[in-house]
Structure 1
Amino acid sequence: MFRKALYAGTASVTASLCGIVAYCADKASSRRIVYDMTEDHIASLENHSDLELKFVQVFFRHGARTPLSELKAIEPVEWKSDEVFSGAKHTYIDYEVKCLDGSPKPDARVEKLYRNHKRLHGGAHIGQLTSVGMDHCYKLGQRLRQHYQYKVQLLPKTFNHQDFYFRSTNITRTIESLRCVVAGMCSPLKGPVDIFVSKSEEEVLYPNSHHCPILRKFQVALYKNLDLIPGMKPHRLEMQELMGMSKEEQIDFVNIRDVVKAREAHSLFIPDFLSSRMDHIDKQACNVMTYALGGRTEGNNDRDVLQMNVGNLMHLIINKPRRCCK
C-alpha cells in the first residue's frame, strides 16, 4: 500500500519551500519508522534494501503572492490585476474544494478579511497567488513527480485518486498553490481533483490564534510591544530612522520582509536602503516569529505557547501515516 498526502499551508517566515515526512517499513520485522527529512535524506535511504517506502507527506508553502500590506514610508508600486495574475495556463486543472468530512466548502474567514481589506496600488487584493507563484508551484510538482514516480517509483505512471490526499488551508492562495503542484505532478488528469479544507475554527495547518483566546492574547500583547524581544529596540529604532518614521511609531520586521520579498519575486522596485539590509531584515523577522510561535518572553511558558501553535499539527504529521499504513 502506498499513499501520498500533500498539504498546502501558510506561515509568516520560513527557510524552505517544501518539507517531507517519509514513512518506511522494515521488511523483516514490520517495524515502522518515520523520517522527517529533505530530499537528500530520502535519497540516502535508497541503499537500505531492508526498508520499503510506504507513505510520504509533503508540506509546502504557497507560491509568490501579492503582499499582505503596503509600507507607507516607501514609494508604492503598481499591483495590476491584469498583469500579475495573467498567464500560467499550464497550471489550471479541474478541482473541487470540500470540507474535511466531504461536505461543501466551509466559510473562508481569512480570505474574507483579505477581500475586505483596502486594495493595493494597481487594484489587486492582498495575499493573492500571482502567475509567478503559480509557475513556482507547478515546477515543484514536476520535481516531486520526477523523484517519486521515476526515481523512487513509489507512484504509478497513471494518476489514481486513491493514491493521493490533497489538503490545504481554506485560503485562496494556498488552494491555488496546491492546484498548481498537482498540475505539475499528476498531469494528465481525468476528472476533477478533490482538495480538502478545514473549518476555520478547527484549522491546524497554521497557528490558529483566531480561535485560541490564550494564544491570541499572547500574540496581541507581543505585537503591541515588540521591544519585549531582547535586542529588538535598537534595530527597530534604526530602521524607523531610515524610513523617516518617528520613534513613537513601531514597525514590524515581518511586515517589512513580506513587502520586500513580494516585490523581489515580481521584479518590482525596492529602495536601496531595504535591499542592502535584507540579511538584517530576515534575521529580525525570524526573531519576531521565534518569539511569537515559541513564546520566548519573560513570564511565559515557552512550551505551552509552542504547543498551542503547532501541537495539533505535529500530532497530524505523526499519526496520519501510521493510520494509513496499518
Structure 2
Amino acid sequence: MRALRYMKRFSLIGLSVCAGCSLKWMILDSRVLASVTEVNNDSSSETMRLKHVQILFRHGARTPLHLTPGIEQATYPANMLIRPAPHTMVNMEFFNKEGIELLPSVPSRYDLHYQKTKLKGGSTSGLLTTYGQDQMYLLGKRLRKEYIDNIQFLDSFDPNLVKLKTTHMKRTKESLRCVLAGFFGAENLNKNGPVRVESNDTRDEYLVPCPNICPVFRQINHSAMIHGSDIAEFNEDRTLLEETLGKKHFSKNRVRFIDCRDDLIARKTHGLPFPEHITPEIIDMVDKNATKLLFYAVCGQHEAERLVATRLSIGRLIQVFLDNIQDVLKGDNKAKMQMYSAHDSTVLPAMSVFGLDVTEWPPFGADLILELYEDNDKNHYVQVKYLGKPQIVRGCDKELCPLDKFLEEISPFAISEDEFQEVCHSNILEVIAKEMLEQEVGEIEDEESKERSDLAPGL
C-alpha cells in the first residue's frame, strides 16, 4: 500500500525529474546579469537586494579512488603533491549536529576505506592535493570578489552570519578550509580562534547519497555501479575500452567507466602521463559514458524511477535549501550565507533538480549557488549560478525566478527525514522498476560488489 501511495504522488508530478533527461538533456543558456545588484526583470531594470546565499561546492582535485587494469600506475609523490598550502592554513574545529566535537584523530569510514589503496609515490587514494588546495583557494577568492568587494554583502567572517557544513571526509574539510582562506583570509580567520564547522560522522549524512542506509536507493545505485557496463547503450564503447586495456584484465568483471574515468581525470588534472594507447578520444569516450552512469546512479536509470531516485539521493539537501529560504523570510534564519562542502555525487543530482545540463561531470571545485533576492515591493526571487554563471532553472524563462514559481517547480524533489525513511524501506521499486530488479535475479554479491553498492557513487 505504501508503494501505491507513493506511485500516486509521483504520477501527479509526472516523470519530469530531469525533463527530457534520457541524456538528451536540455542545455541551458548562461546569460550574465548586467550588474550584480540590478536585475533585468520584465524589461524594467529595478534594484534587487540580495538577502541570502547558499553555496554548494565539490572538493578540489584529489588523488584517484580507483586504479585502471591494463594501465601502469601513475606516481603521486606525497612530498610534492600532498603538501599543505601555507596560505590556506585556517584553524577549524568540527562538531556534529548534536554539538559533540569530532576528534581529528578519528577518520571517517570513507577515509578508512580509501587508505587501503596505496599509490606509487607514497600517497593514498582520495587525498586533496596541493593543486586541489589552490583550486579551492581561488574559488574563495572569486567568492570574495563577488560578495565582499563588489557588493559588500559581507564585510568579513562572522560565525553568526556565515554557517558552514562539510561531509566527514578529509578532502571536503580541507577544501572548505581553502575556500575560507581565499574568501576571508587565513590570517584574519585565525585571529579569532578556530572556525566552527558542522560535520556529521553518522551514516546518514544528507550531503552525500547514502545507499548504505536506504535499501531502495542502494538497489538503484547497485544497478548502475555494478551492472551499468552491461546496459546495451554502453556495449560498443565497453568492448572498445576492454580491447584497448587488454581483455585478460576483465575475465571476471566488466570494465567500469566511472572507475576508469576517476583514474584518467586525476592524471589529466595533475599533468601526469598517459600510456600511448590511451588517446584523447578514449579519454573523452570514458568521460561521456561515466557521466551517464553517474546520472543513472543518483537519478535513476529508468524514467519511471527517476523522481524516486533523485529524491532519495539529494532530496534531503533540497529540503534544507528550501527550509533555509523560508526561515530567512520568516526571520528565523539570521545567517546571510550557508556553505556546503561536498562531492560530485551531490552537485550533479542537485543540478538535475534545478533543470541544468547534466551531460558533463561536475569538475573538481565546481560550485552551485542559490541567491535569494528581494525587490522594492518585497517580492522575492531566486537566482541559481553554476560555475559562477547565472542559469535558467526549470519552469522559469529568466535567470531571476519568482520565488513562488521556484518553490512550485523544486518542492516536489524535496523530502523530509521521515518520508525519506519511509520510502527507503518501501517496496516501491518492485512496482515501478521490475526490469531493474530482474538484472539481479540469481546474483550472488561478492565482497567488492557489496562494498561498492554501499558507497555513494563518484565522490
Answer yes or no: is the 8 Å Cα contact 2:69–2:245 preserved in 1: no
Rounded to whole Å, the distance in 2 between the matches of 1:39 and 1:124 is 42
Against the structure 1 CA distance between its residues 302 and 97, is the aligned structure 2 distance closer, same or farther, given a 3 Å change threshold? same
* Match 1:93 to one of 66, 90, 95: 90
Q: CA deviation at 1:39?
A: 9.7
Hey, what does 1:114 align to over in structure 2? 114
Against the structure 1 CA distance between its residues 44 and 95, is the aligned structure 2 distance closer, same or farther, given a 3 Å change threshold? closer
* Match 1:185 to one of 183, 186, 193: 183
Hey, what does 1:286 align to over in structure 2? 291
Against the structure 1 CA distance between its residues 273 and 314, is the aligned structure 2 distance closer, same or farther, given a 3 Å change threshold? farther
Answer yes or no: is the 8 Å Cα contact 2:37–2:151 preserved in 1: no
Tell me, what secondary structure is at the counterpart of 1:129? coil
Rounded to whole Å, the distance in 1 between the matches of 2:173 and 2:288 is 29
Rounded to whole Å, the distance in 2 between the matches of 1:102 and 1:243 is 49
Tell me, what secondary structure is at the counterpart of 2:197? strand
Taking every aligned residue pair, what percent have the same amino acid on both sides?
Answer: 30
Q: Is 2:298 the counterpart of 1:307? A: no
Structure 2 gaps, min length 5? 1-28, 40-44, 332-459
Hey, what does 1:29 align to over in structure 2? none
Tell me, what secondary structure is at the counterpart of 1:267? coil
* Match 2:69 to one of 62, 67, 72: 72
Rounded to whole Å, the distance in 2 between the matches of 1:310 and 1:42 is 32
Q: CA deviation at 1:309?
A: 1.0
Mapping for residues 232-271 of structure 1, pairs under 5 Å: 232-246=234-248, 248=251, 249-271=253-275
Against the structure 1 CA distance between its residues 142 and 120, is the aligned structure 2 distance closer, same or farther, given a 3 Å change threshold? same
Amino acid at match of 1:118: T
Answer yes or no: is the 8 Å Cα contact 1:294–1:302 preserved in 2: yes
Deviation sequence 1:234-275 (CA, Å, 0-9, x none): 111110001112464411111111111111121111224334
Answer yes or no: is the 8 Å Cα contact 1:79–1:124 preserved in 2: yes
Answer yes or no: is the 8 Å Cα contact 1:141–1:185 preserved in 2: yes
Answer yes or no: is the 8 Å Cα contact 1:229–1:297 preserved in 2: no
* Match 2:38 to one of 40, 46, 63: 46
Against the structure 1 CA distance between its residues 126 and 252, is the aligned structure 2 distance closer, same or farther, given a 3 Å change threshold? same
Amino acid at match of 1:244: G
Once superposed, what is the RMSD of the aligned Cα atoms? Answer: 2.3
Against the structure 1 CA distance between its residues 224 and 202, is the aligned structure 2 distance closer, same or farther, given a 3 Å change threshold? closer
Rounded to whole Å, the distance in 2 between the matches of 1:114 and 1:315 is 30
Q: CA deviation at 1:227?
A: 4.0
Answer yes or no: is the 8 Å Cα contact 2:85–2:134 preserved in 1: yes
Against the structure 1 CA distance between its residues 167 and 74, is the aligned structure 2 distance closer, same or farther, given a 3 Å change threshold? same
Tell me, what secondary structure is at the counterpart of 2:277? helix
Rounded to whole Å, the distance in 1 between the matches of 2:231 and 2:243 is 19
Rounded to whole Å, the distance in 1 between the matches of 2:309 and 2:109 is 23
Rounded to whole Å, the distance in 2 between the matches of 1:38 and 1:140 is 19
Q: CA deviation at 1:38?
A: 7.5
Hey, what does 2:55 align to over in structure 1? 58
Amino acid at match of 1:134: Q
Amino acid at match of 2:290: A
Aligned residues: 287
TM-score, scaled to structure 1: 0.81
* Match 1:197 to one of 182, 196, 199: 199
Amino acid at match of 2:322: I
Answer yes or no: is the 8 Å Cα contact 1:69–1:120 preserved in 2: no
Bigger drift between 225-234 and 122-131 goes to: 225-234
TM-score, scaled to structure 2: 0.59
Hey, what does 2:138 align to over in structure 1? 139
